[in-house]
Amino acid sequence: MNIIHSPHSFSKKSALIIFTVLLTGVAGCFFSGCSKKSSTGTSIITALDQIDRLIQLGQTQDALKLLEKTDKKSLDTQIRIGIYRRYLSLGENKRAENVIVSCRKKEPGNKSLDALYGSFLISDKRLDEALSVTKSLSGTKYSSIYAEAVLRKAVKDLKSIDFAQFCSTDYQKIYFDAWNGSGDNMWLRNCAVIHLYRGEYIDAQKLHPQTFQDARDAYFWSCVMYDCRQYAMAVSDLLKASELIKNELSDSFELKKLLAQKEFLNLKIQALLADCYISLGEDKESEQIRNQILALHSDTEQDSEFSEIENKILSVVYVNSALWSLSQDDMNAAFKLLSFAVEKWTDCVPALVAYADYSWKTSQLEMNDPMTLELRRAGVRSLDMKAFDEIPRIPLSDPVARMNASLERVKNYDLYVALLDLEDKANPDVQDKVRLSKMWNILEHNTSGTNNYPPQIARYALHTLILCHQEQQARQLFNKYLASRYKFDSAFSFTDNLFQNIHNLNLWEVEYAAYFELLEKKASLTKSLYEFVVLNEHSREGAVVQEISPASSYSAVMNLAMIYSSLNDKNKAMNLYGKLTGRISEPKQKAEILYRLAVLQNDQGLLSESVKSLKYCIYLNPGHTKASNLLLQLTK
């Protein structure tokens, strides 16, 4: 079941979360008043209390006169901070500044005074001075003041805010300082975004907080865990996000606009939760979540009010439910879901591709064995024949027309290549030279520089070359394409560049890299690449569990199992084959897995298990000669 993943909020490979550089000032006044235990005596305390009463009564001139009379440089620092605060409340900023400057001279190196003066300078918009005063606060409990000074200065100096400008290591430290001083997870999220932007997934994962501030915060960290392929952790975060968003949605005091935003957030939470369950191999749970989403959004009259991203999420939910229905042989449900999706979202690429795939597969279904033909001639239909005849069919001309119409409206390489694939499948007898000529022509018309092609076009070209047995040309094209796309450093080998950029590569690119290394019989290197593509690793009940990634192809899993076997790691190979049988429904593919599993079981002395696997293999594919011969040999 080739599940489509929902469009979530960020990651370099999907949409980046745009973070706010400045929200509100993280600095505040560190001293709200003076100490009542000052050693200067009760007369100063009495004077300050009198000043406060005058301020409250609006007698500001009298208050100022008494404050000037009370202010002495010899006073305790804490008392003078109280005087500083009262000068500020009276609008006497210059006198307030003189007090804090005097205190800093008296106690040089006092971080709390530096923080207080830095906060004053920021509020007075004297940012250069604020930077100078607060630089020493980095890494201390007052680091958020320095962070605010740096960010305000950066924003002031910029004509326009550039995302990349704020993704340097220096700024990352600033955000961490801001979080360390304020406790606001917004700053920690900024740090994580930078790590993800640079492909540093492990570092982003390490920033995961112990608690969440709200549902949006929990959803963000679930996205981080999802991008880090820590799906069990992502599920845990999403379940917490679900609880938080329920409480937030039940708040009757929310404005309508805020409620709409939170309902959208709830949609994203549930959609990502469904994707995570897929990645954990929990397909039934995923379908249950999708059904809940569809039930909540069944009133399609309201769809026009949805944003573009909301419609994208909903359309993918429909497609994934259709694919689930296909995996359960529920053709009617799949037909209804896909037909609705292509009508409702006419330019939804996943829906159009799945619709075309459904059309192709149903066009290839046949029930023309001699007995069936004889029954039909006699006007008799068995239950199987009736079920076969009732499968909804879509003529290939329908998806082709829809795809062409969409391409006229919106240029999309995924859809373009899907249409090319459909045309190739519909014309299987085309000679290789014609197929290759068409491919080179497509490459020529879709290049944006030397060896620089859209990934979808490059993938189509590689597939065509290998289909036409041009592996050497395919390898050369692939190496040049990767080097151009990811700006490989010529000072390093291709392999070194490949692993340095592996988290930036599309999974299909890594799979092709593994395939080409396999052709050259580099088993260890091939194993590492295929493991990256095939295996998801997560913790479950304290143990590390490896699952097959839903994004990995049948061939990738089979190749990895074969490599394990060749490296004499038979148990890993059998385990992988065993897991793959649960994912594959196509009879011939499943039969091949069972045959390979039977061979390994026999090698390990598991005779009865091997015989069972062979019998099931032959049941699925009676024409599997190797399985029949091995079964005959084992049961003599």
Q: Which tens digit of pLDDT belongs to each residue from 587-629?
A: 899 999 999 999 999 999 999 999 999 999 999 999 999 999 9
Contact between 398 and 414 (Cβ < 8 Å): no
Local confidence band at 235 (pLDDT 50, 70, 90 cut-offs): very high
C-alpha pair distances (Å), 302 with each of 298, 335, 343, 546: 9, 23, 16, 42
pLDDT digits (tens, 9 = 90+) for 406-424: 999 999 999 999 999 999 9
Local confidence band at 62 (pLDDT 50, 70, 90 cut-offs): confident
Residues in a beta bridge with 543: 540
How many beta carbons lie within 10 A of that of residue 142, not counting itself?
Answer: 24
pLDDT digits (tens, 9 = 90+) for 529-544: 999 999 876 555 556 6
Q: Is the pLDDT of residue 434 over 80?
A: yes
Q: Is 189 helix (H, G, I), strand (E, B) or coil?
A: helix
Those residues with Cβ within 8 angstroms of residue 92's Cβ, 6 or more apart along the chain or in another chain: 64
Q: What is the C-alpha separation between 594 and 614, in angstroms, rounded? A: 7
Q: Is 32 helix (H, G, I), strand (E, B) or coil?
A: coil
Contact between 532 and 478 (Cβ < 8 Å): no
Please tell me the predicted confidence (pLDDT) of residue 16. Answer: 34
> Which helix (DSSP H) or strand (DSSP E) does residue 548 occupy?
strand 543-548
pLDDT digits (tens, 9 = 90+) for 213-229: 999 999 999 999 998 87
Contact between 140 and 152 (Cβ < 8 Å): no
Q: Is the pLDDT of residue 68 over 80?
A: yes
pLDDT digits (tens, 9 = 90+) for 465-482: 999 999 999 999 999 999
Q: What is the C-alpha separation between 366 and 436, in angstroms, rounded? A: 31
Name the token pair of 111: 């971080």
pLDDT digits (tens, 9 = 90+) for 564-596: 999 999 999 999 999 898 888 788 999 999 999
Residues in a beta bridge with 539: 544
Mean pLDDT of all residues belonging to the chain:
84
pLDDT digits (tens, 9 = 90+) for 314-349: 999 999 999 999 888 889 999 999 999 999 999 999
Q: What is the C-alpha separation between 425 and 353, in angstroms, rounded? A: 14
What DSSP assignment string belongs to 499-545? HHTTTTS-HHHHHHHHHHHHHTT-HHHHHHHHHHHHEEEEEETTEEE
Q: Is the pLDDT of residue 363 over 50?
A: yes
